[in-house]
A and B are shown apart, each in its own frame.
Chain A
């Protein structure tokens, strides 16, 4: 097995269907050990791209290496190194959580301990519950348990927290951070910008089948150097000022108000602002 620097290498990836181009020349590197988030509107080609990387779809052209292997020809040994959490939630009806996780553990040569995985995803109390009675969030945790039971080097998470309540999402993030800290490379697609910001080392924005930007969440779209906006409430009501030197503005305001500035706030464009501008829907 050859050592590879990057978990995923994509060059000139194209995928076209009969009447439509889904992926149009994507180049992408996901480094080993990083969490990479793929963002993009519906129909941007995210799932197509991810499914090509997972070996579920054939590409029209381009070069793809996932853990040093072309996923189109991924064998069982390769499958054992890759964990997949699909966009759709799994259904196992009348089997219990423990039965499903223990069963899937048999598929992997180097499987983790099923009971500790069940604990890890927070399903310990539901161990003996039939999977059909689990809530949406609990079913998703089961999906993750099945995705990580084989101790994957690379984990695909396709919109893992859609439909979660905020608390469940926070818990899920903790779980993913734990996996990342243990060295698992993670490719995440999500609609939630704050999720990408919370989890990802780098984000890529995919729109119209093209990858238009790749950067850290803090720097995406010149966010790091963008102008700040200072907000306060003056004698004439709420006021704001865009500036590259917010500290100077605050000092000036402080002097003018003789101390505290009423309802002072300094904001920079959120990841969401930047993202919306990039995909062309920005205000």
Chain B
């Protein structure tokens, strides 16, 4: 069977695995949607005359969706697969290495397209945003999206190999950092939002207060400058605030599956031969 066919078979398998994994679906697919719905509900002004914030923000969230799909999911997934010995196992079979990457690209394209569709549909249905009106605009939308996801995918694959070359516990440059950002973001964004703006979600959506897993106390905090950093090192969660003691509990606002991701992505691994070395 040729490389491309095997790549497509792997792509099918990757998509199946992605859709069955709650972490992947929640973090990659649902997260930009949640942000779109919440921030779209909060901010309703014009960025420029004739350009409502929601329109601007929806485009931004589609870009974020492509980023999480292309960059983040690969930057996390490939090191996890290396860690679990899946790459070594594949190296032991006659599968051409290219097929592995073709499979990843197919998964990214499929999930990215689904993500974009969901975000566009949500923006149009919930906030009445206008879709591109002409074929030319759709064309622009398509090529920008494809270029974006291609760049993100390549960066994701490149980033996933950083860790293998620089082993070290708690290394902030590795794929752990990508997950780390994810842990920080909701906590960072949420407090100020809750205190200063009246949340006016569309009636169609019912987002529970703990959708992000953020403790209520933290959400109500008036100053919005607090960062809780999820670090996979032994010292436990570390705060990145400006040196002030914080009454917030040491617990991370992450559920067990997220913590598992953190642990896996941040763990040391032997540099050889567990990775799918592209060079030799």
Within the assembled complex, what's the spacing in Å between the Cα atoms of A107 and B103?
Answer: 14
Are B89's CB and A146's CB within 8 A?
A: yes
* Interface membership of chain A positions 88-112, coded 1 if the CB is closer than 8 angstroms to chain B and 0 otherwise: 1011111100010001101111000
Known contacts A76-B96, A106-B6, A99 near B16 by CB under 8 Å? yes
Within the assembled complex, what's the spacing in Å between the Cα atoms of A91 and B88?
Answer: 12
- Chain B: minimal CB distance from A27 (Å): 24
Within the assembled complex, what's the spacing in Å between the Cα atoms of A37 and B17?
Answer: 37
Within the assembled complex, what's the spacing in Å between the Cα atoms of A222 and B108?
Answer: 61
Are A107's CB and B92's CB within 8 A?
A: no
- Greatest chain A CB density within 10 A among B17, B84, B94 is at B94
* Interface membership of chain A positions 167-201, coded 1 if the CB is closer than 8 angstroms to chain B and 0 otherwise: 00000000000000000000000000000000000
Are A79's CB and B92's CB within 8 A?
A: yes
Q: Is A256 an interface residue (CB 8 A)?
A: no
Within the assembled complex, what's the spacing in Å between the Cα atoms of A107 and B10?
Answer: 10
Within the assembled complex, what's the spacing in Å between the Cα atoms of A185 and B16?
Answer: 36
The interface residues of chain B lying within 8 Å CB-to-CB of A209 are: none
Q: Name the residue of chain A whose CB is nearest to the CB of B83.
A: A91
The interface residues of chain A lying within 8 Å CB-to-CB of B10 are: 103
* Interface membership of chain B positions 7-23, coded 1 if the CB is closer than 8 angstroms to chain A and 0 otherwise: 00110010011001100
- Chain A: minimal CB distance from B213 (Å): 22
The interface residues of chain B lying within 8 Å CB-to-CB of A104 are: 93
Known contacts A91-B84, A106-B1, A107-B6, A150 near B93 by CB under 8 Å? yes
Q: Is B261 an interface residue (CB 8 A)?
A: no
Within the assembled complex, what's the spacing in Å between the Cα atoms of A108 and B17?
Answer: 22
Within the assembled complex, what's the spacing in Å between the Cα atoms of A150 and B21?
Answer: 29
Q: Is A54 an interface residue (CB 8 A)?
A: yes
The interface residues of chain A lying within 8 Å CB-to-CB of B88 are: 56, 86
Are B13's CB and A99's CB within 8 A?
A: yes
The interface residues of chain A lying within 8 Å CB-to-CB of B21 are: 93-94
Are B13's CB and A103's CB within 8 A?
A: yes
Known contacts A56-B273, A86-B89, A106-B9, A93 near B17 by CB under 8 Å? yes
* Interface membership of chain A positions 66-90, coded 1 if the CB is closer than 8 angstroms to chain B and 0 otherwise: 0000000000110110101010101
From the candidates A56, A82, A90, name the one contacting B86 in the complex (CB within 8 A): A90
Q: Is A57 an interface residue (CB 8 A)?
A: yes
- Chain B: minimal CB distance from A132 (Å): 10
Within the assembled complex, what's the spacing in Å between the Cα atoms of A88 and B84?
Answer: 9
Sample of 8 more A-B contacts, CB < 8 Å, known A93-B21, A107-B6, A130-B20:
A76-B96, A80-B94, A82-B92, A86-B88, A94-B21, A107-B93, A109-B94, A150-B93
Are A107's CB and B17's CB within 8 A?
A: no
Within the assembled complex, what's the spacing in Å between the Cα atoms of A90 and B91?
Answer: 13
The interface residues of chain B lying within 8 Å CB-to-CB of A56 are: 88, 91-92, 273
Q: B residues within 8 Å of A by Cβ? A: 1, 6, 9-10, 13, 16-17, 20-21, 84-86, 88-89, 91-96, 272-273
Pairs A–B under 8 Å by Cβ, sample size 6? A56-B92, A99-B13, A106-B1, A106-B6, A107-B93, A107-B94
A interface residue count range (under 10 / 10 to 19 / 20 to 34 / 35 or more) = 20 to 34
| Closest CB pairs A-B (n = 3) | A94-B20, A84-B92, A79-B94
From the candidates B86, B91, B96, B273, name the one contacting A91 in the complex (CB within 8 A): B86
Are A54's CB and B92's CB within 8 A?
A: yes
Within the assembled complex, what's the spacing in Å between the Cα atoms of A150 and B1?
Answer: 13
Q: Name the residue of chain B whose CB is nearest to the CB of A89.
A: B85
The interface residues of chain B lying within 8 Å CB-to-CB of A6 are: none
Are B94's CB and A51's CB within 8 A?
A: no
Within the assembled complex, what's the spacing in Å between the Cα atoms of A104 and B96?
Answer: 12
Within the assembled complex, what's the spacing in Å between the Cα atoms of A257 and B20?
Answer: 73
Within the assembled complex, what's the spacing in Å between the Cα atoms of A84 and B93?
Answer: 8
The interface residues of chain A lying within 8 Å CB-to-CB of B272 are: 57
Q: Name the residue of chain B whose CB is nearest to the CB of A91.
A: B84
The interface residues of chain A lying within 8 Å CB-to-CB of B95 are: 107
Are B89's CB and A90's CB within 8 A?
A: yes
Are A79's CB and B93's CB within 8 A?
A: yes
Are A95's CB and B6's CB within 8 A?
A: no
- Chain A: minimal CB distance from B93 (Å): 5
- Chain B: minimal CB distance from A88 (Å): 5
- Chain B: minimal CB distance from A148 (Å): 12
Within the assembled complex, what's the spacing in Å between the Cα atoms of A130 and B21?
Answer: 12
From the candidates B13, B16, B92, B94, name the one contacting A86 in the complex (CB within 8 A): B92
The interface residues of chain B lying within 8 Å CB-to-CB of A54 are: 92
Within the assembled complex, what's the spacing in Å between the Cα atoms of A94 and B20?
Answer: 6
Q: Name the residue of chain B whose CB is nearest to the CB of A103.
A: B13
From the candidates A86, A88, A94, A109, name the one contacting B17 in the complex (CB within 8 A): A94
Are B85's CB and A88's CB within 8 A?
A: yes
Known contacts A104-B93, A107-B93, A95 near B17 by CB under 8 Å? yes
